[in-house]
Structure 1
Amino acid sequence: MLSRTADHLFWMSRYTERAENTARMLNVAYETSLLPQSDAMALAGWQGILSISELLPSYTALHGEVSGRGVMEFMVLDEDNPSSIVSCLRAARENARAVRGTLTTEVWETQNTTWLEVRRMIASGAFERDPGAFFEWVKFRSHLSRGVTVGTMLMDEALHFMRLGTFLERADNTARLVDVKFHARQGDYFGSVAGKEQESDFYHWSAVLRSVSGFEIYRKVYRDVIRPERVAELLMLRPDMPRSLHASLNEVVANLRLIVSRPDSETLRQAGRLRADLQFARIEEILASGLHAFLTQFLERVNTLGTRISREFLVPMAA
C-alpha cells in the first residue's frame, strides 16, 4: 500500500476517535457543571478539559479567563483549534475524501454525512440548545463509523491502518483523562481517606467512568462502591475494558503484526514492550511509585510509537 494512502486512512480514524473522546470529556464536564459545587471546583473541571488536550495556553491566549461557555465553544466550534470537534470531523472527512477509492461506499458516505450534518446542526443552533444531545450524536456517529468500517471493509492493510489509528488515539486520550482526573484529587484518595466515600467523590468517579462508558462495567466487575484505585485499574490494566490502556495496546500490537514486513520490526517491539508493561503491572505498584509519573511516561512512549509508525509506514511528520 502507498504510504500516503495509509497515512490518510490512519489519520481519518484518529480524528474520528479524537472527536468522540472530546465529546465524551465535554459531556461529563457539562453534566458535572450542573451539580452543586464550589466555583473553584467548577473552574478546575473546565481547566482539566483544556489540560487533557494540552490547550490551556492556547485558550488563555485567545480568550483569557477560563469559563464553561468559553471552553465549550473553543473545544466544539473553533475551526482554528485543530482539536475541536468541528476541526476533527472536517479533517476526518478530508482524509476520507483523499482516499475515497480505497473506502467502501458506506464508509465514505458515513464520513461525508457526518461532516455535512454537523455543519447543519451548528448552523441551526442545535449545539447551544442541547449540548448533551449534540455530544451523544458525535459519539453515535463515531460508533457508526467504526461499525461500518469493520462491517464493510476488506480485511486487508487498509483496515489494519484504520484500526491502528483508532486504538493509538484511544490509548493516548484515556491516559490523558486518567492523569488529569486523578491529579485533580491530588492523589490523597488512594491513602487513608480511600474508605471514606463522600457524595462528591461518588459523582466525580462515576463521571470519570461514564466518560469512557465504564460505569456499568465497573459495577459488573467489582460489585462494590466506586473506589479510585479500582477506577484506575479498570481504565489502565483491564484487558476486557474496551477503552482501557491495556485493551487499546492489545489492538495496536495486533494490527501492527498484520502490517509489518519483518517480525523483528523495532516499532512492533516497542509496542509489544509497552503492552507487556501494562499486562504484567499491578495497580498497587503503580500507585506506590506514582500514578502521574507512570502516565507521563506512558504518554511519552505512545507519542514515540506514533512517530515510529509515521516514519516506517506513513508520510513522515515534519520535524
Structure 2
Amino acid sequence: MMLSRTADHLFWMSRYLERAENLARLLDVSLSLALLPQAKGARAEMRAPLVITETLERFNQRYPAITPEALLQFMALDRENPASIICCLRHARENAHAVRGKITAEMWENINATWLEARQLEANGIGNVADFFDWVKARSHVFRGIAYGTILRGDAYSFIRLGTFIERADNTARLLDVKASLLTDATIEDKAQDYYAWAALLRALSAYEAYLEVYREGPAIESVAELLILSPRLPRSLCACLDAICKILDQIEGDNGRLAQRDAHKLLNTLKYTRAEEIIASGLHEYLSQCLAQINALGGTIDHAYLRVA
C-alpha cells in the first residue's frame, strides 16, 4: 500500500490541474456571455465564477465592481486569491515536486514547464484571452495524455485519476447548479438569451456536440440535466465521473477503502436509477446541492482512508 503522504500529493496534484482547467472553461463562457449584446444577465454571469469558487466576498473586498478585466485578473493571475488559476498551477507543481520519484520524467517536465509559462504570463499579462484559456486547457490535456501513456499502472496512477474525477464531478455539479439558478423563471423575451446560456454551459463542459448528437434540438433544462447528470457516455457527467471513481477505488490495494467504495457505489447506483423528470420535479438546485454534499462527503471518506498522514 502506498504511503499516505505520497498518495495525498498525487491526488492533489491532479485535482489542482483539473481545477485550473475547469476555471478556464468557466471563465471563458462567463465572460463570453457577459459580452453578448444587450445581455440582461451580464452581471450575474460574471458573478458565477465567484459564486462557484466561493470567493465573491474576497473579490468585493478587493475590487469596487465586477468588470471583465477585474474578474480575469482575480480568477486567473491573482496569487492572493487561492482559487485562481495561477495558484492552482502552483499547488499542482508543488505537489508534483514532492513526488518526483513516483511520476515519470515526462510528467514532471510537463507540469514544471506549465508553471514556468504561467509565471511568464503573470509577469507580462494576458494578451488574447481566448488563447490563454485554450493554453490552460491544452496543458491539462497534455498532462493527462502523458500520464496515461507513460506511468506504470498501479496505485500512483490510481490516485492521480481519482483526484481528476473527484474534482471533475464537483465542478460539473457546481457549474450546472449555478448556471441553472441564473436561467430559471425566464420570460419569453429571455428565451434567446437562455439558448445561448445553455449552449455556453454545454461548451464549458465540452458537451455541446454530444448534446446535438443525442437530442438534435435546442438546449432545454430537462435534456441538459439528463446529459450532464445521468449520461454514462459523456466524460464530464456526474454518472461517468462516479463510474470512474468506483472502478478506481476497486483497483486500489488493501481494505482501507471499503467505506469509500460503499459510498461511491451507492451514489453511482442512485444516479443510474434516477430519471431527469424526477430531478426537475424535485428541484434541480436541491438535487445538485445533495449531490455536492455527497461528493464532498466521499472526498472526506477517501481522505480518511488513504490520504491522512498518521
Aligned to 1:174: 172
- 1:165 matched to 2:163? The reply is yes
Post-superposition Cα deviations, 1:138-190, rounded to whole Å, max 9, x if no partner, equal 0000000111001100000000000000000000000000000001112x36x
Amino acid of the residue matched to residue 220 of structure 1? Answer: E
SS of residue in 2 equivalent to 1:251? helix
CA contact (8 A) 2:34 2:43 kept: no
The equivalent of 1:117 in structure 2 is 117
Maintained 8 Å contact 2:183/2:194: no
Report the equivalent of 1:65. Answer: 65
- Distance in 1 (CA, whole Å) between partners of 2:176 and 2:206 is 14
Indicate how the Cα distance of structure 1 residues 6 and 263 shifts in structure 2: closer, same or farther if over 3 A, else same: closer
Is the counterpart of residue 183 in structure 1 residue 176 in structure 2? no
Mapped partners of 2:149, 2:104: distance in 1: 10
Match for 1:205 among 177, 198, 201? 198
The answer to whether the 8 Å contact 2:249/2:257 transfers is no
Of 7-16 and 221-230, deviating more is: 221-230
1:10 aligns to 2:11 (yes or no) = yes
User: Would you say the 8 A contact 1:310–1:316 is kept in 2?
Assistant: no
Q: CA deviation at 1:56?
A: 1.1
| Greater Cα offset, 308-317 or 85-94 | 308-317
- Residue 131 (structure 1) aligned with residue 129 (structure 2): yes
Q: Distance in 1 between matches of 2:293 and 2:195?
A: 31
Matches within 5 A, 1:149-298: 149-186=147-184, 188=185, 198-259=191-252, 261-262=254-255, 265-298=258-291
Q: CA deviation at 1:32?
A: 1.6
Counterpart Cα distance in 1 of 2:198 and 2:111: 33
Q: Distance in 1 between matches of 2:307 and 2:124?
A: 38
* TM superposition shift of 1:262: 2.7
Asked whether the equivalents of residues 232 and 240 of structure 2 are also in contact (C-alpha less than 8 Å), the reply is yes
Query: Which string of whole-angstrom CA distances, capped at 9 and with x for unpartnered residues, describes residues 260-283 of structure 1?
Result: 523981111011111111111101
Give the Cα separation in 2 of the matches to 1:205 and 1:269: 34
TM-score by length of 2: 0.95
Could you tell me the TM-score, scaled by structure 1's length? 0.93
How many residue pairs get aligned? The number is 309
| Structure 1 gaps, min length 5 | none
After the TM superposition, which residues 84-99 of structure 1 pair with which residues of structure 2 at under 5 Å, given as runs? Answer: 84-99=84-99
Q: Output the CA distance in 1 between the equivalents of 2:31 and 2:172.
A: 19
Tell me how far apart the structure 2 counterparts of residues 101 and 149 of structure 1 sit (CA, whole Å).
14
What per-residue deviation string (whole Å, max 9, x for no partner) do you get for residues 237-270 of structure 1?
Answer: 1010011111111111111111152398111101
- 1:140-151, aligned counterparts within 5 Å? 140-151=138-149
Contact 2:172 2:238 in 1 (8 A): yes
What is the one-letter code of the residue matched to 2:69? R
Alignment RMSD: 1.8
SS at match of 2:38: coil
Q: Percent identity?
A: 48
Question: Separation in 1 of the partners of 2:250 and 2:33?
Answer: 41
8 Å contact from structure 2 (residues 14, 160) kept in 1 = yes
d(CA) in 2 for partners of 1:145, 1:33: 31
Q: Which runs of 5+ in 2 are unaligned?
A: none
How far residue 224 of structure 1 moved from its aligned partner, in angstroms, is 1.6
1:30 aligns with 2:28: no
Distance 2:257 2:301 in 1: 14
Comparing 222-231 and 21-30, the one that deviates more: 222-231
Does the 8 A contact of 1:167 with 1:252 survive in 2? yes
| 2:7–2:156 CA contact under 8 A, matched in 1 | yes
Displacement of 1:62: 2.4
| Cα contact 2:35–2:42 (8 A) shared by 1 | no
* 2: CA distance, partners of 1:199 / 1:286: 24
**Partner SS, residue 26 of structure 1:** helix
